[in-house]
Structure 1
Amino acid sequence: MNLFEFESIFNELRKLLIEHGLTGSVLIYSYFLIGSVSVTLFLFITIFVTRQVFIGVVKSAKTKSDWQQALYEFRVFRAFALIFGAYIIYNAVPYVFIDFKNWFFYALIFSKIYVVLATMFAINAFLNALVSIMETSRKYADKPIRSYKQVAKIIIYIFGFVLILSIILNQSLLYIFGGFGAVTAVFILVFRDPILGFVASVQMSAIDLVRVGDWITVEKYGADGEVTEINLTTIKVRNWDKTVTIVPSYAIVSESFKNWRAMEESEGRRIKRHINIKISSIKFCDDDLISRLQSIDFLKDYLKETQLQIEQFNAEHTVNPNNLVNGRHMTNIGTFRVYAEKYLESNPSINTDLTFMVRQLQATENGLPIEIYVFSKEKGLKKFEEVAADIFDHLLAAVPYFDLEIFQSPSGSDMRGFVGRGND
């Protein structure tokens, strides 16, 4: 419906009223009343019919796509129907209020504002539907789509507010935007978090720092769990204890955090733990200890081959056998380390294709650390901890068989026993 048709309809209405003998103020108010009621009824009918047409097309489809369902769920059709209503009001106002010059000015302002609000509402509904579709897509499921939606909405709201302000003040957009230059500092201060969050979201998306579904650890904020939502200003993390931590988006790009995604995508999860051996228990292996260790299946071949190599070396170098310090001899700590390696090699839950070693660390006041540095095939938290616990359960129980002792700081009962023996 164009402007000419509106003009023709209202001209015909006035002629009809005049033909029925209406004149003066009766004509004016009758024309206004009938015109207002007619436009209002036509407005509601148009909105209703427009909605039903769009909804009917969706419902009649045999196979409903995600797009159709999202547009229906977020009432996009209703939003765009309001735009038709806004068009009707804007074009009808000049003819309805033709006899009321004072009212006409305010009615025209109201109609323009309604057009702006209806358009903003329609764009907002379409953005909600678009984001809903993108979040269900594998391609965009791990992207911070909500952040971009929020930025788009802020821009729309700001532009809409400025446009409404220019309508009310009857000034151009350039004039209004020019006035905002004086409050730019205040604007930046008020929207500091959204601005920083938007920049952070762009950086996270560009270099793929964080995705929805990632396991991240941010110690400063006590976050350790799965990312469930990435917004413009915040990242929601559901911790493993089922609590929820909110982390500022800009903290991810400005501070230290740990993302476990690379581990989950790899072929194993690292086990890096150590056992502290009491240094005073470390010694050379004598014949009695070697004899006892030969009953351990993992060490049979190793002891036989190593013992032969040692005897050949000592014989070639005419080593004095009366002192074990002379020449080469096995130690209980070295034999235990070999045993740990062979035990881990036989464990089906350990990925031997990745970094695999049992090593000594720098001795400390807490003893000599023997570190297990291997990768578990099980990467889930529960299964991983079970694998690690089984390994150390076994190794801790095996330590005494090598005449070794595990270092442990004295407890209160140990100190009381020591004092008691001293008094005796």
Structure 2
Amino acid sequence: MNNEVTKEIALLLQNLGVEKNDINWGTQLTILAAIIIITYLCTKLFRHVVIPLIHKITARTKAKWDDYLFNTEMMKAFSRLIPPIMLYVLLPFAFSNSPQLLNFSLKVCLMYLDIVTILLVGTFLNSLYNISNEHEKLRNRPLKGIYQMIKLITIIIGIIILFSIILDQNPTNILAGLGASAAVLMLIFKDSILGLVAGVQLSANDMLRPGDWITMTKYGADGYVIEVSLTTVKVQNFDKTITTIPPYVLVSDSFQNWRGMRETGGRRIKRSINIDMNTIHFCTEEEIQAFIQKGFLDKKTDTSEKIVNLAVFRSYLLNYLNNNPKVNKDLMIMVRQLQPASEGMPLEIYCFSDTPDWIPYETLQSEIFEHVMAMAPEFNLRLFQRPAGTDLQS
């Protein structure tokens, strides 16, 4: 191939009136300098004329993807292809009389072209990642790990091609040699391979998105996912510490994702208080009349049937929750008894706040149970708690 190119160049030089034997080192250096100047001018022309023109065209379009695909970084990476390509084409004119030097120069150009191509693919993948972050359906997918894996594959292929250029070998021969050491390569890139498989599973099954609140007690993670990459998932805990978890652990082990709670628009309140069972009794006539006067019982209530004060309290609390503007009425609201224990009769409040935000949720929960504890004596009920030293003293 090089011999054919050299013959064609020699023929071209003869047509221009330059004999092959007349080309000395001075002529070669002059031609080389001219080639370098032409390459430099073409690169500068592309960067200062073509790139601004492309930016003006993309700025006029309504689509956003072209702004990312033809951004400054992408166009600079593309401009790096110009010098090795032009030098590869023009260098035979300078070294037509020096085949060994020409062969070495062309190898250097190919190596340079291989490196800048790897950089171009990396920049292109960064642009694709930015485009996917702008897409409504893709922005919440953990795609960063997949893009990183494609980059890694590109780098590996680029290194193989680089060695094939240096050794004058077919890339397939080098790949065949690497196949014999596949076990070693799999051991080296074990985390990357597992991370890629886990990333695909997390994305396909919609198990995890950046911004999700997850809890994984085994690894000390309780906070928001800030990044999902090829080898790590970063979780910012509520104390502002960062926990890193391998992606494949999220597939093999269980974790709690609170996204459903946020999408529902409410957060569950599920807490109980213990009622002293000695204070649970049938209401007397005086108690029933007092409950009617206070509005705890309807005036039309059949007083001939026996009424338990705890049942009146439960009915009151259920009505209180249904009329509380901070309680989500679209989700379950319930007041129930749990299994009696040595600490008394547990009375559980089960409802949802109207917001998933933490501070309003805790405020509502506190208000509800402060009200429950303050109202219990109104129904002649006493809350159970273990006696303290002051109780024994009194």
TM-score, scaled relative to structure 1 = 0.83
Distance 2:283 2:303 in 1: 11
Of 40, 45, 48, the residue aligned with 2:41 is: 45
Amino acid in structure 2 at the alignment position of 1:390: E
Distance 1:8 1:17 in 2: 8
Paired position in structure 2 for 1:253:
251
Paired position in structure 1 for 2:340:
363
Task: Spell out the pairing of 1:303-314 with structure 2 (5 A cutoff).
Answer: 304-308=300-304, 310=305
Runs of 5+ unmatched residues, structure 1: 311-328
**2:390 counterpart of 1:407:** no
User: How far apart are residue 8 of structure 1 and its match?
Assistant: 7.5
Amino acid in structure 1 at the alignment position of 2:328: N
**2:40 counterpart of 1:63:** no
Task: Spell out the pairing of 1:134-213 with structure 2 (5 A cutoff).
Answer: 134-213=132-211
User: How far apart are residue 14 of structure 1 and its match?
Assistant: 8.7
Amino acid in structure 2 at the alignment position of 1:51: R
Amino acid in structure 1 at the alignment position of 2:45: V
Distance 1:169 1:180 in 2: 15
User: What is the CA deviation profile of residues 362-399 of structure 1, one whole-angstrom value per residue up to 9, with x for unaligned ones?
Assistant: 12233221111112222222222222211111001111
Paired position in structure 2 for 1:110:
108
Distance 1:8 1:131 in 2: 49
Task: Spell out the pairing of 1:172-321 with structure 2 (5 A cutoff).
Answer: 172-297=170-295, 299-301=296-298, 304-308=300-304, 310=305
Distance 2:14 2:80 in 1: 27
Tell me if the contact between 1:10 and 1:95 (Cα under 8 Å) persists in the aligned partners: no
Runs of 5+ unmatched residues, structure 2: none
Distance 1:366 1:57 in 2: 79
Paired position in structure 2 for 1:345:
322
Q: SS at 2:43's partner residue?
A: helix
Amino acid in structure 2 at the alignment position of 1:11: L
Of 30, 33, 38, the residue aligned with 1:34 is: 30
Change (3 A) 1:99 1:391: same
Distance 1:345 1:306 in 2: 24
- Which deviates more from structure 2 when the two are superposed, residues 225-234 or residues 370-379? 225-234
User: What is the CA deviation profile of residues 163-211 of structure 1, one whole-angstrom value per residue up to 9, with x for unaligned ones?
Assistant: 1111112211221111112221221122122111111111111111112
Identity %: 35
User: How far apart are residue 13 of structure 1 and its match?
Assistant: 11
Amino acid in structure 1 at the alignment position of 2:48: Q
**2:95 counterpart of 1:97:** yes
User: How far apart are residue 275 of structure 1 and its match?
Assistant: 0.8
Amino acid in structure 1 at the alignment position of 2:367: D
Aligned CA RMSD, in angstroms, stands at 2.8
Change (3 A) 1:409 1:165: farther
User: How far apart are residue 79 of structure 1 and its match?
Assistant: 1.6
Amino acid in structure 2 at the alignment position of 1:382: I
Distance 2:387 2:42 in 1: 86
Amino acid in structure 1 at the alignment position of 2:212: D
Of 117, 120, 123, the residue aligned with 1:122 is: 120
Change (3 A) 1:9 1:263: farther
Q: SS at 1:385's partner residue?
A: helix
Larger radius of gyration: 1
Amino acid in structure 2 at the alignment position of 1:361: L
Change (3 A) 1:74 1:399: farther
Q: How many residues align?
A: 388
Distance 1:143 1:232 in 2: 13
User: How far apart are residue 304 of structure 1 and its match?
Assistant: 4.8
Q: SS at 1:305's partner residue?
A: coil
Change (3 A) 1:393 1:47: same
TM-score, scaled relative to structure 2 = 0.88
User: How far apart are residue 68 of structure 1 and its match?
Assistant: 4.4
Q: SS at 1:75's partner residue?
A: helix
Amino acid in structure 2 at the alignment position of 1:295: Q
Change (3 A) 1:293 1:306: same
Distance 2:10 2:327 in 1: 86
Change (3 A) 1:100 1:358: same
